Amino acid sequence: MDVQVIPLDWHRLFWGDTDWLFLLEVLIRTSILFGWLLLMMRWIGKRGIAQISLVELVFVMAIGSAAGDPMFYPEVPLIPALACITILTVLQRWTAQGIIQNESLETLLEGKPREIIRDGILKTTALKEAGLSKEDLFELLRVHNIRQLGQIQRAYHEQNGQVSVIRYEQLADAPVGLAIVPPWDIEMPDTYDGAMASADNPLVCMSCGALALQPMRHCTLCEEDCWTSACRDPLCVSPPAGATESDSP
């Protein structure tokens, strides 16, 4: 059943059939949805949208929805949409101010930085909490021109979703570590039996990056038993002397 639209009917354009009390409902609806969006976005994490804060992202999403429909649906009046956009803007400013002034609110909405690598060793629990897979992290580290984990003194997963890296300036100064170049999807590192580790032929745990300088079956840090050659520069490395590749994956 089509109702004929009279163009430039100012009453319909701004107000339509809206009751004044409906503006109060808009306030309640908008506040609830803004809060709920913040919580949901916080829950799923925000990897990959690192240039924008969580509050800004939710604001942009919500304001886009609020502004969209009234632009071309003649039956949607402007006043409730304008009220909605105004409320969202006020909420965004309050929340942004609150985050600056209140540490607990900041932690609640934006989380806190996590140390994910210390002295070349992956902190697997922190990585899991950050919602990053090992492959994702290695990809981000390659962007920082990292060839092997020994180059990294500290790496942090920051509140904005980025990974910051504190590293040895020179590759030659870095200890040996787990190679992440070339990407493992292209070429898996050769694996070796942990029993052949020694100070001359250091091996490194493929799960956490811990070094083995003496024979050992399982990694003392993560209990895994998959070892590869520790190297300073994976792009010019030769296998340990007398090494035979193990069949383990």
Query: Which positions ≥6 away from 111 have C-beta within 8 Å?
Result: 42, 159
221 scored as a contact of Zn ion (CB under 5 A): yes
* Amino acid identity at 14: F
Question: Rule CB under 5 A: is residue 13 a binding residue for Zn ion?
Answer: no
Nearer to Zn ion, 81 or 206 (CB): 206
Output 37 or 180, the one with its CB closest to Zn ion: 180
Residue 29: Cβ-neighbour burial (10 angstroms; 0-12, 13-18, 19+): middle
Closer residue to Zn ion, CB minimum distance, 81 or 210? 210
Q: Which of 41, 222, 237, 243: binder of Zn ion (CB under 5 A)?
A: 222
**Least Å from the CB of residue 28 to Zn ion:** 52
Buried-exposed string 196-232: b where 16+ CB fall within 10 A, e elsewhere: bbeeebbbbbbbbbbbbeeebeebebbeebbbbbbbb
Residue numbers 178-207 binding Zn ion by CB under 5 A: 205, 207
Q: Pick the closer one to Zn ion by CB: 30 or 207.
A: 207
Chain centroid, CA 25 distance in Å: 35
Query: Could you say which of 37, 208, 212, 226 contacts Zn ion (CB under 5 A)?
Result: 208
Number of residues that bind Zn ion (CB under 5 A): 7
Give me the count of residues in the chain: 249
Query: Toward Zn ion, which CB reaches closer, 106 or 224?
Result: 224
The nearer residue to Zn ion, 66 or 226, going by C-beta atoms, is: 226
Closest contact distance (angstroms) between CB of 210 and Zn ion is 4
- Could you tell me which residues are beta bridge partners of residue 122? 117
One of 219, 226, 230, 231 touching Zn ion (CB under 5 A) = 219
- From 26-34, 54-62, 194-202, 214-222, span contacting Zn ion (CB under 5 A): 214-222
Closest distance between Zn ion and the C-beta of residue 154, in Å?
18
Please tell me whether residue 210 binds Zn ion under the rule CB under 5 A.
Answer: yes
d(CA 137, CA 140): 5
Q: How far apart are CA 187 and CA 190, in angstroms?
A: 9
Nearest distance in Å: CB 177, Zn ion:
12
159 Cβ contact partners less than 8 Å away, ≥ 6 residues apart: 106, 110, 111, 112, 113
* Nearer to Zn ion among residue 194 and residue 240 (C-beta): 194
Give CA–CA dist 39/85, Å, rounded: 20
What is the DSSP track for 179-204?
A: B--S-TTT-PPPEE-GGG--SSS-EE
Asked if residue 216 binds Zn ion (CB under 5 A), the reply is: no
Interface ranges with Zn ion (CB under 5 A): 205, 207-208, 210, 219, 221-222
